[in-house]
A and B are shown apart, each in its own frame.
Chain A
Amino acid sequence: MKKKINILITALAIFTLSSCNDFLNVSSPSQADTKFVFSNTEDAQKVLMGVYVKFCEDPFTSRMSNAWMQNTDVECYGPNAGLPSGGHRSDLFGLQASADVSFSDVYNAWNNNYQAIDRANQVIDGIKSSAISSNAEMQQMLGEAYCLKAYRYWMLCNFWGDVPYFDVPAKLGDELDKPKADKNIVYSKCLQDLVDIEGKMKFSDVNTGGIERMNRDFALGLIARIALFRAGYGMTSNGTMKRADDYLDIATNSDLAVTYTDNDGNTQIATSYTDYYKMAKNYAQKLISLKPRSLRSDFVSIFKDECQYKVKNNDEVLYEVAFTESYGGDVGWCIGVANTGTCALGNTTDQVGLSPLYFMSFADNDVRRDATCARYSNVNDTIASCTSSTNLFVGKWNRAWATKALGSGSSKGTGINWPLMRYSDVLLMLAEAENELNGGTDVAKSALKAVRERAFVNSPTYNKDVTSYVDSVAGSKDLFFKAIVNERAWEFGGECLRKFDLNRWNNYGETVNKVVADLNNWAISSDSTLTSLVKDKYPDAIKFKNNADYLYFAKSSNKITWMNDKYKITDIIPYFSKYNVSVIYKISWGAYLLKKVTTYTYNGVAYTKVVKVTNTDGTITYTLDGIMTVSVASGVSPGINKVVSYQAGDFATRLYRGYTGTTGIGTGAVPYLMPIGTLTLSSSKVLSNDGYGFSNTYVGTDVNVEFASVATEYK
């Protein structure tokens, strides 16, 4: 008995010992804790890659980086017909995002930004508390994290306006449901971070990963860019566009101030918008003086290199998002030259277009025009097709150039890199900041000139296009500003920077109105009957009288030869002999912008179709829409009127319908902001979409403006 009990006690003791508390503290060998990952550069870099990889997801690749940066005077894509049903990308093209509160793409994009920000905060926190934090590579990565965070906040503030600001990694118990912080405070905080770290970062020529990782070149450019945004305008909660100086206490609120050491070694504290222009100028100059370079002479090669997976450091591009085939990247899929058929390198679903007016705005000898605007698409590898005026695509990227076998059935995941900033941007930012501070000085002029020199490198009228042009605008601050506005359009077309620039300049509304008016005037000018009919009502139409109604071209294999680029041709016969072709094709251009609707009215009722039949007894029967019949004796008027209504084209009607409304002219601020998504709102106690010019329903309709209608008797 005793023996039995002894055995029992021993057994129980074994069981009890075997189950100490360690048994309940488990870990996965496939997972690592924060302390470990920041203990060495190799693992820390993997966490940093986790910030970058957020660029490879749809909310960035085919939404925030391109498709949602429309519709401006540069990038624009025609939204679908009809009142938006909610939850479609085209609602955002048409500036009708504010009712898209439950559109999951909007929600996902918001989360994509904040996930990247939280991960960047983890890197910042991790490196700062790492034992090897002073290591140069760790400091470079810390800088990258700050750059990534700043870039994400810059996108958030431009897409959503004021947003919650988080400076540390999310942790339970912290205030996580934060109210919105003013975008100017967010900008200032990001600037302070960048200013403090940029000196510890490496320039692209010595940086691991070069321009495919954020580097000091880019950090300096980013400071200039955000400083310009901080100096510029943004949507405020009452729906108006304002600078920080107009409504915030910039003098005393330290959150709105940034302290930095200028290039002369003096400590500066930026508070007013002028201070921020100074700051932009300072950092643009800093890059130019520390890493001077000339612009790459062959403009198109910048983008062709990207399509061919070539990376060049310390050159034109300061930083480009690095994609790799099959693992991400929609460049050449949703933006770029269209492949409509079965092409060896796959197909496209282009969602970013360019305005025909933008095409027209280029000077004839500007190399950037044809590099930027593709008037053609690839039907297959040997046949190209020309596109009409409302189907211009971005020519900078073309998957047909790709040097990898993407595959004929391939779509997304091209691996073509996407540039976030180029050196010419820094030059133009310098020119702009200098003009704001001191007008068109030599500093401003030489920066602008540097950009134009490359554009007109082969121009027979080089002096006129470059030197005289720059001199002609330098006399007036306003003229020079307009020149900057134009130059940025020409230089960065298709790179999707325009929308945010228009916001900070606060000229989005006037730009939209001008585009709509110009499109309509061009449409009117394409029809001589109409032009004479409405010359009083649309006096400006005459300015477009030379704009092409059609573009004519000859085609051999996939080579397209344009007969006219911009202007009307009165007689195409000479071209047959000049180009030795037997067939000349034409494609609708200005005429495409005009919509003609024919109806038949009888007794005041409109019908779409009439069928005329001469009966055996000689009488004539007119059948309207198969419903109404009118029979009359031969020679007698049936009393039917044929009414031709000349209307604005669908393109002009829909592009900015969230702003233009029914009259064709918009007023107030452009509703460019996106709403905070339903799912975010439903879990927040402090966030809302109140104010900021938001509307719960879609504004703007598809009713085409009627220029004139002509009624004639129908017999």
Chain B
Amino acid sequence: MRKLLCSLLLTIFCVSYASAQTTVTGVVKDDTGESLPGASVIIKGTKGGTMTDLNGKFSLSVAAPSTAVLKVSYIGMKVFELPLKGKTSGLVIQLESNSSQLDELVVVGYGSVKKKDLTGSVTTVKGESLTKVPVTSVAEALTGKIAGVRMTTTDGSPDAEVLIRVRGGGSITGDNSPLYVVDGFPVDKINDIPTNDIEDITVLRDASSTAIYGSRGANGVILITTKKSDGGATKVNYNSFYTTKKIANRLKPMNTYDYVMSNYEYALLKGSTSSFYNSFGVYDDLDLYKSVKPIDWQSDMFGANVLTQQQNVSVTGGNKTTNFSLSGTYDYNGGLMVNNDYSRYAFQFKLNHEMSKNLKLGFNARVSDQVVNGSGTQGGSYKVRTSQAITSVATRGLSDFISVDTSTMTDEELQQYIQNTQSLSEQAQQYWKRTNNRSFNFNGSLDWIIFKGLTAHGEAGYGYGFNEAKNWWSATTTNASYVGGLPLADWTKTNTGTYREAATLTYDLKANDDHHITVMAGQEVSSSMSNNTYMYGTKYSKAYNAETVFANFGLANGVVTEKSAINAADNLNSYFGRLNYSFKERYLLAITMREDGSSKFGDGHHWGLFPAVAGGWRILDEPFMGSTKKVLSNLKLRVSYGEAGNNRIGNTLYMMTYALNNGTKRYGVGETANNDYSAASSYLSNPLLTWETAVNRDLGLDFGFMDERINGTFDIYSNTTRNLLIPHTITAPGYTAVYENTAQTSNQGIELSINASIVRKKNFTLDANFNIGFNRSKVDALSSGLESMSFASGWAGTDNKNQEDYIVKVGQPIGQIYGWASDGYYTTNDFDSYNAATKTYVLKSGVPTTGLLGGATGIRPGTMKLKDVSGPNGVPDGVVDSYDRVVIGKTSPLFQGGFGLSSSCYGFDMNANFTFTVGNDIYNANKIAATQQYRSGTYPNMLNIMNQSNSYSYMNPETGQLMTSLADLAQWNEGTNAKQYWSPYSVGSTTVVPTSWAIEDGSFLRLQSLTIGYTLPKKLLGKLKIQNLRIYSTATNLFVLTKYSGFDPEISSSVRNSEYSNLTPGIDYSSYPKSRGYTFGLNITF
């Protein structure tokens, strides 16, 4: 295209200039050495000149070659002046790129600015760099690419959520996720957008840039611009990849023999071996288990044949006035578990039309349909948990050979029996789940240039969603036992709708070369609504599978319930304005103001005003910097102050309203399930609720060296979130909490990102990027008078007797784990004597005891020991109880970031992305559950570290007898035979004690992906009418360097029933193990 145009122009030039003097010849090349056709070559000071031909060559008549100076220019290149000094042939002129990144437009709220004019802390990631690595979700693709943005993939499930936190996030209990804006339209989630459809992603981090979003910008803004056509000839792109996955890391449970011996010891401790003998045979025969291979539950549970794929086709095209792009993507993301997967269909259509020179019309539509099958490893009492892959029986012993009469079993025993006889993958099937989210978004926009400098922009959009969740429980689940012992099902359908309208008026006034003012004013209205219907049926025939039940919901023989609700709208009305002023292009000033009215607050509290101001100083453009320009290409200092709001709380918390009871209990007067009303919110209503305000302060430095070949950004920030909306637990009749604007948090940090173009040759390029962010969060104040608040992660429900295992303290960061300091185990030195009559061990005076453990051993040598640090009076009291809890871990990392290398070499390309996180603690709850008999059946297995040779054992290994005397215990467990751990039986089967032992360093370095691709030579493709063809292969999660002992250090399990999951981060319980994947894919452009 470009070449065609050039040759045309060349012809015209050739006609115009025909007089011959001395002929000068040469060639013009670009900075990679490629010849440049169509470059303009003129003789300075004259009108004479020419253009280069298709091969970049030129030929020009020059009157005085000894003094003439050639001026070579090309769009996007710096003008180059060459004094001929008599030379007339063999000239090679290499132009330097002028397309400085500094002139690129960066999308900011309600407009865009040149990168060099930015005054805020803004980072943009280009779509190409996202699509190089084959992933389904945008968030996954962004991981490790932006300084100061923490992305945590919750676990390895196929629909895993990615938690995104910009600069730590200010809220304590509220939602800290940033605002997502797709093509100007705020949305709740971005997992319905395929990475292939993305043009670029911009992250706004400081208030000077987020304040224009006012109410919702407090936690940062992520702007996504989808791809549009450049116009021109129709292009067809096809991208496809296939991935195979397997579990990336396995844990080691005890082998069969160790397993059997350990359970034998437990039988001895309980004083009853008969049922053990019935299950596994007599002691003398246990040697046989040495040759029995343990059942591989990890493979059973996470060994599904996983195939993941993506197919994407896009078509772009148009003409001068109208262009379009159309894209369709299908993703299938298989899970490691059977019948657990994610699939998505996504379509996107974008149309731009220039009605007249002054009037532009835009339209885009996005449609997606996502389905998630299976419930994975999360939540509920009957769904399998990850730790069961360790704790399930290593062997079924004799039970395979004897018949069992299930009718004599109690409920608990039967449940146990089922769990023991069904494989974990079979158990997972007893709970069937499918969720389906369909979303539709339509946007239109109009740009009108009223007169030069004054532009009006209007946009309006409508988005709606149909979401469904279906659950089916088999007859063997406890849920079924409550409602007649037959399968049951429920079906929730939620419809959501959002409309939004925004209009801006921008006036661009360039008074003279020194003063440049841009003023923008606008207003915006948005409204979101939702409604849902719920169906519930019980006593379905066991003969029907889940699909049949949902196809015939009326088949229920038991209770059938239908419910519906239309929720209050979430309305927002806003006015905003921005003033940008630059003086001599060196001094930049931006003032933003936004006023938002939200329906989430009551009368008199609707409105919030959010101002921001920012300044920039392009130091490099100062005259005194002239000498540095050879090395420096950019140097800009930015400073900003701004406020942004947050209203992410429930819709009508400011007033008391009644709603129909949504629970499963009904009062049964007249033998019918009576409807009842109760307060719609479980929080006490607070009419005074108003905006939470984040105050952001930022100091930044942008720099570039050697014509931006090395460039980077450095930011220091200090953010404070005031009037924090926080549920304050209260003592009040009927309520346990109220939302208040009382708390305050702060985040301080440093961010640095550097990009370097190390080699830039025609056939070899090497680029590197690096980013790192340090963030310190601190709680400045809690609800009035409170110095600390503690929260329960809920992973062990009420089995964690002092349930709150997280604490928030004034002056300290959020996410502190609260528990007991581990002190190894009691040794025989801690005891005076053993009383055989009472079977108790007498502690030496001064050695603390505890009633927390509830294990079969009681307090004896080998029992887990905890530190006695305090008591009711603040001094150690000889008893370890709830007074002895301390902060045992901090979940926020010291720093995190990523780095990557990309290279191309003769058609080959390589890309490697690393991410790292350093200094955070992980609360390894899985480890706790798998190192004691925690609700894991009669004969559970454990992690191998708990085998008898590594943990305190009461069984004499020579005789198989129980040892009780201090001397015997010392001989086999202490001194030269010292064991690493306490007896796993020192903690009860329904007790968990969070100790510092379960807190591990979660630092890691991950090779997120490694891609090698090859682009076939154009010459070859030309014959096939293919413009571009690239094939590639990617390995994801190739390695993780970490000391963490669990499946993977990047976790944040959402714990069932947890209202406060924001406050209990970094816990690893039943998280879905991550996988390692190998992908093969191709990109074709026709």
Residues of A within 8 A of B (CB): 1, 4, 8, 11-12, 15-16, 18-19, 21, 23-34, 37, 43, 46-50, 52-53, 55-57, 82-88, 99, 101-105, 111, 114-115, 117-119, 121, 164, 166, 169-172, 176-178, 209, 212-213, 309, 322-329, 340-342, 346-349, 379-380, 405-413, 415, 417, 599, 605-606, 625-627, 678-680, 682-685, 687, 696-698, 703
B722-748 contacts to A (CB < 8 Å):
728-736, 738
Q: Out of A171, A408, A606, which one reaches B837, CB within 8 Å?
A: A606
**Given contacts A50-B661, A55-B667, A172-B684, could you give 13 more A-B pairs where the C-beta distance is less than 8 Å?**
A25-B603, A27-B652, A33-B657, A52-B669, A164-B731, A324-B668, A327-B668, A340-B408, A341-B408, A407-B484, A415-B671, A696-B881, A697-B851
Report chain A residues within 8 Å CB of B660. 30, 46
Asked whether, in the complex, the Cβ of A172 is within 8 Å of the Cβ of B687, the reply is yes
25 A-B residue pairs with CB within 8 Å? A11-B458, A12-B523, A15-B525, A21-B597, A23-B571, A24-B597, A27-B657, A31-B658, A50-B677, A86-B854, A170-B732, A170-B735, A322-B668, A323-B668, A324-B672, A328-B665, A328-B668, A342-B407, A349-B411, A407-B485, A413-B483, A678-B803, A683-B729, A683-B731, A685-B785
Report chain A residues within 8 Å CB of B731. 164, 176-178, 680, 683-684, 687
CB-CB nearest in chain B for A172 = B686
Asked whether, in the complex, the Cβ of B484 is within 8 Å of the Cβ of A410, the reply is yes
Asked whether, in the complex, the Cβ of B854 is within 8 Å of the Cβ of A85, the reply is yes
Given contacts A19-B525, A85-B854, A326-B558, contact A28 B482 (CB under 8 A): no
Asked whether, in the complex, the Cβ of A329 is within 8 Å of the Cβ of B668, the reply is yes
Residues of B within 8 A of A (CB): 406-412, 450-451, 456, 458, 475-476, 478, 480-486, 501, 503, 505, 523, 525, 527, 538-539, 558-559, 564-571, 573, 597-599, 603, 606, 651-652, 655-661, 663-678, 680, 684-688, 728-736, 738, 785, 789-790, 797-799, 801-804, 836-838, 851-854, 858, 872, 879, 881-882, 956, 959-963, 968, 988, 990-991
Asked whether, in the complex, the Cβ of A415 is within 8 Å of the Cβ of B407, the reply is no
Asked whether, in the complex, the Cβ of B733 is within 8 Å of the Cβ of A115, the reply is yes
Asked whether, in the complex, the Cβ of A411 is within 8 Å of the Cβ of B729, the reply is no
Asked whether, in the complex, the Cβ of A21 is within 8 Å of the Cβ of B658, the reply is no
Report chain B residues within 8 Å CB of A87. 798-799, 801
Report chain B residues within 8 Å CB of A606. 836-837
B44 to chain A, nearest CB (A): 43
Asked whether, in the complex, the Cβ of A605 is within 8 Å of the Cβ of B669, the reply is no
B792 to chain A, nearest CB (A): 9
Asked whether, in the complex, the Cβ of B485 is within 8 Å of the Cβ of A409, the reply is yes
Report chain A residues within 8 Å CB of B733. 114-115, 117-118, 121, 164, 166, 170, 176
Asked whether, in the complex, the Cβ of A212 is within 8 Å of the Cβ of B669, the reply is yes
By Cβ-Cβ distance, the 9 closest A-B pairs, closest first, are A409-B485, A85-B854, A118-B734, A324-B668, A407-B484, A49-B676, A176-B732, A56-B665, A411-B481
Given contacts A23-B525, A411-B478, contact A379 B407 (CB under 8 A): yes
Report chain A residues within 8 Å CB of B458. 11
Report chain A residues within 8 Å CB of B881. 696-697
**In the complex, A248→B459 CA distance in Å?**
73
Report chain B residues within 8 Å CB of A176. 684, 730-733
Report chain B residues within 8 Å CB of A626. 956, 959-961
**In the complex, A128→B458 CA distance in Å?**
53
Asked whether, in the complex, the Cβ of B573 is within 8 Å of the Cβ of A19, the reply is yes
Given contacts A341-B407, A411-B411, contact A103 B657 (CB under 8 A): no
Asked whether, in the complex, the Cβ of B668 is within 8 Å of the Cβ of A37, the reply is no
**In the complex, A177→B785 CA distance in Å?**
14
**In the complex, A19→B968 CA distance in Å?**
83
Report chain A residues within 8 Å CB of B567. 28, 30
Asked whether, in the complex, the Cβ of B525 is within 8 Å of the Cβ of A18, the reply is yes
A664 to chain B, nearest CB (A): 15
Q: Out of A8, A57, A212, A696, which one reaches B670, CB within 8 Å?
A: A212
A325 to chain B, nearest CB (A): 8
A397 to chain B, nearest CB (A): 16
A671 to chain B, nearest CB (A): 16
Report chain B residues within 8 Å CB of A349. 410-412
A210 to chain B, nearest CB (A): 8
B486, B503, B734, B988 interface centre (most CB from chain A within 10 Å): B734
B25 to chain A, nearest CB (A): 55
Given contacts A342-B407, A379-B407, A626-B961, contact A327 B677 (CB under 8 A): no
Report chain A residues within 8 Å CB of B735. 118, 170
Report chain B residues within 8 Å CB of A171. 684
Main secondary structure, interface of A, reads loop
Asked whether, in the complex, the Cβ of A409 is within 8 Å of the Cβ of B801, the reply is no
Asked whether, in the complex, the Cβ of A24 is within 8 Å of the Cβ of B668, the reply is no
B114 to chain A, nearest CB (A): 27
CB-CB nearest in chain A for B734 = A118
CB-CB nearest in chain B for A409 = B485
A668 to chain B, nearest CB (A): 22
CB-CB nearest in chain A for B960 = A626
Asked whether, in the complex, the Cβ of B961 is within 8 Å of the Cβ of A102, the reply is no
Asked whether, in the complex, the Cβ of B485 is within 8 Å of the Cβ of A28, the reply is no
Report chain B residues within 8 Å CB of A28. 565-568, 651-652, 657, 659, 680
B605 to chain A, nearest CB (A): 10
**In the complex, A172→B731 CA distance in Å?**
12
Asked whether, in the complex, the Cβ of A53 is within 8 Å of the Cβ of B666, the reply is yes
B455 to chain A, nearest CB (A): 11
Asked whether, in the complex, the Cβ of A47 is within 8 Å of the Cβ of B676, the reply is yes
Asked whether, in the complex, the Cβ of B597 is within 8 Å of the Cβ of A50, the reply is no
Asked whether, in the complex, the Cβ of A24 is within 8 Å of the Cβ of B573, the reply is yes
Report chain B residues within 8 Å CB of A172. 684-688, 738
**In the complex, A25→B450 CA distance in Å?**
36
Report chain A residues within 8 Å CB of B599. 23-26
A330 to chain B, nearest CB (A): 10
Asked whether, in the complex, the Cβ of A407 is within 8 Å of the Cβ of B539, the reply is yes
Asked whether, in the complex, the Cβ of A102 is within 8 Å of the Cβ of B538, the reply is no
Q: Out of A29, A164, A346, which one reaches B485, CB within 8 Å?
A: A346
**In the complex, A348→B411 CA distance in Å?**
7
Asked whether, in the complex, the Cβ of B730 is within 8 Å of the Cβ of A177, the reply is yes
Asked whether, in the complex, the Cβ of A86 is within 8 Å of the Cβ of B666, the reply is no
Q: Out of A86, A105, A410, A685, which one reaches B851, CB within 8 Å?
A: A86
Asked whether, in the complex, the Cβ of A26 is within 8 Å of the Cβ of B569, the reply is yes
CB-CB nearest in chain B for A169 = B734
Asked whether, in the complex, the Cβ of B481 is within 8 Å of the Cβ of A412, the reply is yes
A86 to chain B, nearest CB (A): 4
Report chain B residues within 8 Å CB of A169. 734
A655 to chain B, nearest CB (A): 20
Given contacts A49-B675, A170-B733, A412-B481, contact A26 B651 (CB under 8 A): yes
Given contacts A23-B525, A56-B666, A627-B956, contact A31 B801 (CB under 8 A): no
Asked whether, in the complex, the Cβ of A326 is within 8 Å of the Cβ of B523, the reply is no
**In the complex, A18→B450 CA distance in Å?**
24
CB-CB nearest in chain A for B530 = A28
A20 to chain B, nearest CB (A): 9
Given contacts A115-B733, A172-B738, A697-B881, contact A326 B559 (CB under 8 A): yes
A323 to chain B, nearest CB (A): 5
Q: Out of B482, B686, B798, which one reaches A104, CB within 8 Å?
A: B798
Given contacts A37-B658, A340-B408, contact A682 B677 (CB under 8 A): no
Asked whether, in the complex, the Cβ of A104 is within 8 Å of the Cβ of B738, the reply is no
B1049 to chain A, nearest CB (A): 31
A164 to chain B, nearest CB (A): 8
Report chain B residues within 8 Å CB of A164. 731, 733
Given contacts A15-B523, A176-B732, contact A52 B676 (CB under 8 A): yes
Report chain A residues within 8 Å CB of B606. 21, 24
Report chain A residues within 8 Å CB of B664. 327
CB-CB nearest in chain A for B664 = A327
**In the complex, A49→B669 CA distance in Å?**
9
Q: Out of B538, B872, B882, B963, which one reaches A326, CB within 8 Å?
A: B538
A17 to chain B, nearest CB (A): 11
Given contacts A406-B484, A680-B731, A697-B879, contact A83 B858 (CB under 8 A): yes
